[in-house]
C-alpha cells in the first residue's frame, strides 16, 4: 500500500460558515486541483407549498403515502441527543408492497421524508446502518458523533428508509428481492420517488442531491457513488462497509482466533471471547502504542495522527511486555500476541491469499466500541448476517436457530463457506458480493465528470470495517484517476475513533456543510475541524483521556496527509496543527 504517496495540493485555509449552526466548525478550504471539472450551480431556497394534500395530489408509481402531516418546530430526541428541528412536513409511505415468494412474508420499502417549511433547495438521502429494517427518523444526522447541525436543521429535505424489509433481523435474506433492495435497489427505487415528491411539495425538484451515511450507510453511499452517479451531486461515506461480505466473514474468523485464548465459557458452553483480551489488556496495548507513536506527529498529546509511521514504529511483540506468569493485566501472553498479530494482519486462506484487509494499531483499540465489535458482534450480528444475507444459498431458519450464534461462527469455514459470497443459486441470481459492493469501485468517472464530489471518513480504530481497506481503495481510485482523484474524492482518517464514533478521539464534526461548499461553491476541503466531546458537549464521550481539554479540536486531514503540530501554540486547538 502507499501511505506515503505525495500530493502537492497547496494548503490554504479560509473559513466558511454556511449557517450559524455550523459556524463553530471551521473548514479549511483550498482550490480544486482539477479546474476542468464542471461546477454545479448552487441550490436556491423555496417554501413548502403543500403537505397534507400531497398524498392525494401526486401519482407516484409503486408508492402508497400512508400519512402526511405538519410537525411544528420543536425538539426531537434521537440516540441520546435532543435536537431543535424546524417546522416541517413529515410524509410516511411504502413502495413496492408485495409478498415474498420464498418465505411468504410481507415486504415493502418503508420510508419517511421530512420536508422543512423553509427549504434550502437540497435533498439528502440518509442511508442508515446495520441490517437496516427500520425507518430511522430522517433528521440527516450523518457525520461524526452526535451531530450539532443535522441536515433537516440546515434546511435539507431528508429521506430515510428501511431499505426494503421491516425488521432489523437477517431473515429477509431468504427473499431474493429483499437482498437486492438491501444491497442497492432500495436506493435506486426511492431516489426518483423522493425527487418527485419534493417537486410536488415545493413546486420544483431538488437543485442538488446528496447521499450520506455511516457504516452500512457508508456502504450505501459508496455503492450509490458507483451505481447512481447520475442521481447524486455529493456523496458522504463514513466508516464504509463497502466490502461487507468480507468484513462480516472476517468477524467470524476473528471469533475463531480469539476462541483459542478465551479462558471462560458462556451459559451455552461457548467461548466467552471477552476473556481472550480483557479491557485492561487492550488498555495496556493502547498505552504502549501511545508511548511509541504519540510524538511522531510533533506533539505528545495522547493522539497518534501519523498512522503510517506508527505502524512502522510499533511492534506488538517487543513493545508490550510478555507474560512470564499468569495474566494480570500488566502483560500479554505469547499465545495472545500470536492471535492479535494474526487478527491485525487479516485472514488468509490455505493458499496464502488475503481474504480481507488487516487493520491498523491505534490507541482507540482500547475503546469499548472496538471490543464490542470484536467480541460481541460475531455471535449476535455477523453470524446471522453471513448465514442469510452474505452467502448463497442462505441458511434455513430452522438450521440457524438450532445452534448458538457463536457455534455458527466457530463452524464457519474460510475455505469452503467463505466462497459462497460469490455464488449464485436459483432463485438467488445475483451474488452477495455483487449486490453488496460498489461495481468498478476504483472507477468513479461518471461521478467525477458531471462535477459531483465525494467525501469519505473512517475511524482509525474501527473494530469491524478496516480503515486500511478504505485507504487502499483510495490509493486505487487515485491511481485509476491519474493521481488526481482528490479533484473529486477525498478521504479523512479520524485518529482514535472507533466505528463511526467513540474512542479517544475528536469525533464530532460536520462534513455535510463542507461537501456542499465543495459541490456548489468549488471550495475543496483540505481539512475539516473535529472536536472532542468533553464536559458540556451535547453527548459526552466518557472515553476521553482526563488530560485532554473538554473542547479539544483537531484538523482531520485529507489522506495521506496527517495533522502535525506547528511547534508552538495551544496544544488543545486545531489552529496549532497543519496537514502535512
Ligand atoms: Ca501526538
What local confidence, expressed as pLDDT, does residue 35 receive?
60
Cα–ligand 1 centroid distance for 507 (angstroms): 16
Cα–ligand 1 centroid distance for 571 (angstroms): 10
Q: Is the peptide bond before 393 cis (omega within 30 degrees of 0)?
A: yes
Cα–ligand 1 centroid distance for 310 (angstroms): 11
Among the listed residues 481, 499, 510, 527, the single catalytic one is 499
Among the listed residues 160, 209, 215, 226, the single catalytic one is 215
Residue 462 is a catalytic residue: yes
Cα–ligand 1 centroid distance for 575 (angstroms): 15
> Block means of pLDDT (10 residues each) for the chain, length 580 residues?
37 33 38 72 97 88 96 93 96 98 98 98 98 98 90 98 98 98 98 97 98 98 98 98 98 98 95 97 98 98 98 98 96 98 97 98 98 97 98 98 97 98 98 98 97 98 98 98 97 98 97 98 98 96 97 98 98 98
**Cα gap 256→254, rounded to integer Å:** 5
Residue 499 is a catalytic residue: yes
Nearest to 407 by CA among 385, 380, 369: 380
What local confidence, expressed as pLDDT, does residue 411 receive?
98
Which CATH architecture best describes the domain 27-243+438-579? 3-Layer(aba) Sandwich (3.40)
What local confidence, expressed as pLDDT, does residue 55 receive?
83
CB count within 10 Å of CB 432 equals 26
Cα–ligand 1 centroid distance for 296 (angstroms): 6
Name the grid cell of 414: 474460510
What local confidence, expressed as pLDDT, does residue 413 receive?
98
What local confidence, expressed as pLDDT, does residue 13 receive?
30
Domain boundaries, the chain: 27-243+438-579, 246-434
**pTM, two decimal places:** 0.94
Among the listed residues 462, 469, 507, 526, the single catalytic one is 462
Query: 22-25, long-range: CB within 8 Å, 24+ apart, which pairs?
Result: 22/148, 22/149, 22/154, 22/510, 22/513, 24/148, 25/148, 25/509, 25/510, 25/513, 25/528, 25/529, 25/531
Buried residues in 13-26 as b, exposed as e (16+ CB within 10 A): eeebebeebbeebb
Whether 81 and 508 have beta carbons less than 8 Å apart is answered as: no
What local confidence, expressed as pLDDT, does residue 34 receive?
57
Cα–ligand 1 centroid distance for 361 (angstroms): 14
Cα–ligand 1 centroid distance for 89 (angstroms): 46
3-class DSSP state of 8: coil
What local confidence, expressed as pLDDT, does residue 424 receive?
98
Cα–ligand 1 centroid distance for 313 (angstroms): 14
Residue 88 is a catalytic residue: no
Q: How far is CA 573 from CA 48, 66, 296, 554, in A?
A: 41, 49, 18, 6
Amino acid at each position: 500500500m502507499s501511505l506515503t504517496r505525495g500530493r502537492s495540493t497547496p494548503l490554504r485555509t479560509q473559513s466558511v460558515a454556511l449557517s450559524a449552526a455550523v459556524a463553530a466548525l471551521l473548514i479549511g478550504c483550498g482550490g480544486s486541483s482539477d479546474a476542468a471539472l464542471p461546477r454545479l450551480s448552487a441550490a436556491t431556497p423555496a417554501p413548502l407549498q403543500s403537505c397534507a394534500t400531497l398524498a392525494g395530489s401526486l401519482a407516484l408509481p409503486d408508492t402508497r403515502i400512508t400519512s402526511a402531516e405538519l410537525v411544528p418546530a420543536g425538539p426531537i430526541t434521537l440516540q441520546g441527543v435532543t435536537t431543535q428541528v424546524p417546522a416541517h412536513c413529515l410524509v410516511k409511505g411504502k413502495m413496492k408492497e408485495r409478498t415474498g415468494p420464498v418465505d411468504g412474508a410481507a415486504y415493502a420499502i418503508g420510508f419517511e421524508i421530512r420536508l422543512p417549511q423553509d427549504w434550502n433547495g437540497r435533498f439528502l438521502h440518509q442511508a442508515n446502518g446495520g441490517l437496516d429494517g427500520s425507518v430511522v427518523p430522517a433528521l440527516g444526522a450523518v457525520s461524526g458523533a452526535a451531530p450539532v447541525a443535522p441536515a433537516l436543521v440546515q434546511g435539507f429535505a431528508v429521506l430515510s428508509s428501511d431499505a426494503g424489509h421491516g425488521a432489523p433481523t437477517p431473515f429477509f435474506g431468504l427473499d431474493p428481492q429483499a437482498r437486492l433492495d438491501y444491497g442497492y435497489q432500495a436506493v435506486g427505487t426511492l431516489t426518483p420517488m423522493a425527487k418527485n415528491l419534493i417537486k410536488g411539495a415545493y413546486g420544483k425538484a431538488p437543485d442538488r442531491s446528496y447521499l450520506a451515511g455511516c457504516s452500512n450507510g457508508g456502504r450505501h453511499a459508496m455503492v450509490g457513488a458507483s451505481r447512481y452517479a447520475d442521481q447524486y451531486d455529493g456523496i458522504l461515506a463514513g466508516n464504509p462497509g463497502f466490502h461487507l461480505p468480507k468484513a462480516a466473514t472476517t468477524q467470524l474468523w476473528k471469533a475463531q482466533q480469539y476462541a483459542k485464548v478465551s479462558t471462560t465459557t458462556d451459559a451455552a458452553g461457548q467461548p466467552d471471547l471477552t476473556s481472550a483480551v480483557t479491557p485492561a489488556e487492550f488498555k495496556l496495548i493502547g498505552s504502549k502504542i501511545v508511548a511509541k507513536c504519540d510524538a511522531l506527529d510533533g506533539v505528545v498529546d495522547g493522539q497518534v495522527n501519523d498512522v503510517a509511521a506508527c505502524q512502522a514504529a510499533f511492534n506488538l511483540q517487543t513493545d508490550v511486555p510478555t507474560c512470564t506468569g499468569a495474566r494480570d493485566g500488566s502483560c500479554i501472553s505469547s499465545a495472545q500476541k500470536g492471535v492479535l498479530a494474526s487478527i491485525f494482519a487479516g485472514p488468509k486462506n490455505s493458499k496464502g491469499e488475503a481474504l480481507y484487509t488487516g487493520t491498523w494499531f491505534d490507541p482507540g483499540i482500547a475503546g469499548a466500541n472496538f471490543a464490542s465489535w470484536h467480541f460481541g458482534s460475531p455471535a449476535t450480528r455477523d453470524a446471522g448476517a453471513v448465514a442469510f444475507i452474505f452467502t448463497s444459498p442462505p441458511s434455513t431458519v430452522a438450521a440457524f436457530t438450532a445452534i448458538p450464534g457463536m457455534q455458527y461462527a466457530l463452524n464457519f469455514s474460510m475455505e469452503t463457506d467463505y466462497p459462497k459470497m460469490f455464488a449464485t443459486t436459483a432463485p438467488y441470481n445475483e451474488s452477495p458480493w455483487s449486490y453488496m459492493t460498489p461495481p468498478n469501485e476504483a472507477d468513479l468517472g461518471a461521478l467525477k465528470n458531471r462535477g459531483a464530489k465525494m467525501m469519505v471518513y473512517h475511524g482509525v480504530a474501527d473494530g469491524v470495517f478496516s480503515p486500511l481497506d478504505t485507504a487502499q481503495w483510495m490509493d486505487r481510485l487515485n491511481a485509476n484517476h491519474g493521481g488526481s482523484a482528490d479533484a473529486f474524492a477525498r478521504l479523512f482518517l479520524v485518529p482514535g475513533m472507533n466505528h463511526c464514533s467513540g474512542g479517544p478521539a475528536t469525533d464530532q464534526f460536520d462534513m455535510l456543510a463542507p461537501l456542499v461548499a465543495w459541490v456548489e461553491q468549488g471550495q475543496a476541503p483540505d481539512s475539516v475541524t473535529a472536536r472532542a466531546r468533553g464536559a458540556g458537549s451535547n453527548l459526552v464521550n466518557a472515553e476521553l483521556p482526563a488530560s485532554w481539554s473538554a473542547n479539544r479540536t483537531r484538523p482531520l486531514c485529507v489522506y495521506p496527509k496527517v495533522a502535525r503540530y506547528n511547534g508552538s501554540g495551544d496544544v488543545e486547538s486545531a489552529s496549532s496543527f497543519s496537514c502535512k
